[in-house]
Amino acid sequence: MAIEQLLILIKPDGVKKSLTGNILTKLSEARMVIIGAKAVKVSKELAEQHYYHLKDKPFFGELVDYIQGKVYGEPWDRVLAFVYQGEDAIARMRKIAGATNPEEADPISIRGAYGRITTKGVYENVVHCSSDPKEAEREIKLWFKPEEIVNKIYPTKEVTVT
């Protein structure tokens, strides 16, 4: 089994709804190690780079505004960013996060429990969760400087959580 790292973002809707504690509790069920954590006021450039793969979608502009927290304004216009590490971390964390569409997500997943679709059709799905190892590597580099990551043990050594 592979030791993986991934980026998790608690998006501005999660911050505004005071869901940080609930989300971290649900994620902790996977027994992963947090190796990076910070609050980020997201620039347009960072938002566009993060969602570059969706740039041709009709909802791209709204998505960029959403991750920047523009609809919420101060003091909710920020995300909480985490790098988690653990065995099969990506698949396991995506299961806890739930499907991208909050209306299709398992009701006990984070997105199923707390997400919604706005009247403009944007999925406000509370968290971002890297989808595969390549994306995870790109996203971690985009959101974190190397010195902000603690004990980066990649890809061979296992971390034991007791």
CA distances from 155 to 3, 131, 152 (A): 6, 17, 9
Q: Give the nearer residue to ligand DAT in terms of CB position, either 118 or 151.
A: 118
Q: Which residues bind ligand DAT (CB under 6 A)?
A: 54, 59, 63, 100, 121-123, 125, 128, 131
Distance CA 160, CA 162 (A): 6
Min. distance of Cβ 160 from ligand DAT in angstroms?
29
Cα end-to-end span (Å), the chain: 18
By beta carbon distance, the residue nearest ligand DAT is 100
Is 53 designated active site? no
Q: Which is nearer to ligand DAT, 86 or 139 (CB)?
A: 139
Q: How far is the CB of 60 from ligand DAT (least distance, A)?
A: 9
C-alpha–C-alpha distance, residues 104 and 14, integer Å:
18
To ligand DAT, the closest distance from the beta carbon of 138 in angstroms equals 12
The alpha carbons of the chain give a radius of gyration, in whole angstroms, of 15
Between 59 and 154, CB nearer to ligand DAT:
59
Helix (H) or strand (E) segment spanning residue 146:
none
92 labeled part of a ligand binding site: no
Whether omega for the bond prior to residue 75 falls within 30 degrees of 0, making it cis, is yes
Choose between 45 and 147: whose C-beta lies nearer to ligand DAT. Answer: 45
Task: Name the catalytic one among 50, 78, 92, 128.
Answer: 128
Does residue 59 have a known ligand-binding role? Answer: yes
- Classify residue 136 as exposed, middle or buried by CB count within 10 Å of its CB (0-12, 13-18, 19+): buried
Annotated binding site: 11, 59, 94, 100, 111, 125
- Catalytic positions: 128
